[in-house]
């Protein structure tokens, strides 16, 4: 049951969570002909940071904006994501996307679904002369793992008034680990779910946003 003395706030990862698939990874894999895969494995083992991994991935690809946008035509948001957002918006529950991906595709996909109003935090990408450069614009509170640290972004928004909020986080991957200590309720799948189980962290398994909305209604966090 929700804590009636607290307000609910929801944060979601984008790639593989709010979106059906990990779009950022697929962009780098497709335009590099798979050459980025060893880098991803290094990152998963903790041998390199997200920033190093992303910078090296970016150096391997040479697309134009139009080529990326054409590639994005095959991607969609996760099942139930649009209804989920519109439901919680109607109830006045704050919702933010926190991502270690880039704005190039996040903005495109959100606008494709007429959800350009959603506030998101991520790294910034720019393409000039078929060269992708990345700008890591956020201070990560000392985190050396992430490009845009999700835990730091949550802390930025609720840290000074943390006792007033019940924080819900939705994720699916290892880039979500830093958000876990900041969340009261965690919805997880994929690598994040495995991580939570390995570390005895309470997390609710989900398949899509229909599952999450149903559970939040059952728990009383969402009414109507």
pLDDT score for 144: 86
Q: Which two tokens stand for residue 80?
A: 């139930």
pLDDT score for 45: 92
Alpha helices per DSSP H over 73-221? 81-90, 103-112, 150-158, 190-198, 209-219
- Domain 7-21+77-124+134-219, CATH: 3.40.50.1000
Walk along the chain (224 residues) and give the pLDDT tens digit of each residue: 677 789 999 999 999 999 999 999 999 999 999 999 999 999 999 999 999 999 999 999 999 999 999 999 999 999 999 999 999 999 999 999 999 999 999 999 999 999 999 999 999 999 999 999 999 999 888 888 899 999 999 999 998 898 999 999 999 999 999 999 999 999 999 999 999 999 999 999 999 999 999 999 999 999 86
Which burial class, exposed, middle or buried, applies to 86 when counting CB atoms under 10 A from its CB (0-12, 13-18, 19+)? exposed
Domain ranges of the chain: 7-21+77-124+134-219
- Comparing CA positions, the residue from 101, 17, 109, 121 lying closest to residue 53 is 101
Q: How far apart are the first and last CA of the chain?
A: 15
Rounded to whole angstroms, how far apart are CA atoms 152 and 95?
Answer: 16
Provide the sign of the torsion angle of the four alpha carbons 153, 159, 165, 169, taken in this order.
positive
Q: Which two tokens stand for residue 196?
A: 């939570």
């Amino acid at each position: 049951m929700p804590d009636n003395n607290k307000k609910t706030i929801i944060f979601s990862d984008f790639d593989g969570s709010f979106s059906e698939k990990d779009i950022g990874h697929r962009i780098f894999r497709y335009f590099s002909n798979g050459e980025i895969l060893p880098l991803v494995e290094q990152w998963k083992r903790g041998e390199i940071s997200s920033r190093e991994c992303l910078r090296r991935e970016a150096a391997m690809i040479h697309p134009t904006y139009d080529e990326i946008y054409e590639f994005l035509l095959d991607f969609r948001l996760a099942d139930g994501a649009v209804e989920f957002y519109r439901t919680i918006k109607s109830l006045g529950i704050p919702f933010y996307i926190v991502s270690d991906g880039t704005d190039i595709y996040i903005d495109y996909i959100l606008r494709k679904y007429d959800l350009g109003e959603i506030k998101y935090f991520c790294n910034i990408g720019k393409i000039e002369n078929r060269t992708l450069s990345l700008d890591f614009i956020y201070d990560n509170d000392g985190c050396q793992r992430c490009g845009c640290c999700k835990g730091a972004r949550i802390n930025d928004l609720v840290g000074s008034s943390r006792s007033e909020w019940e924080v819900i986080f939705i994720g699916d991957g290892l880039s979500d680990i830093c958000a876990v200590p900041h969340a009261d309720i965690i919805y997880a799948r994929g690598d994040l779910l495995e991580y939570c189980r390995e570390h005895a962290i309470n997390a609710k398994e989900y398949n899509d946003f229909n599952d999450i909305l149903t559970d939040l209604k059952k728990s009383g966090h969402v009414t109507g």
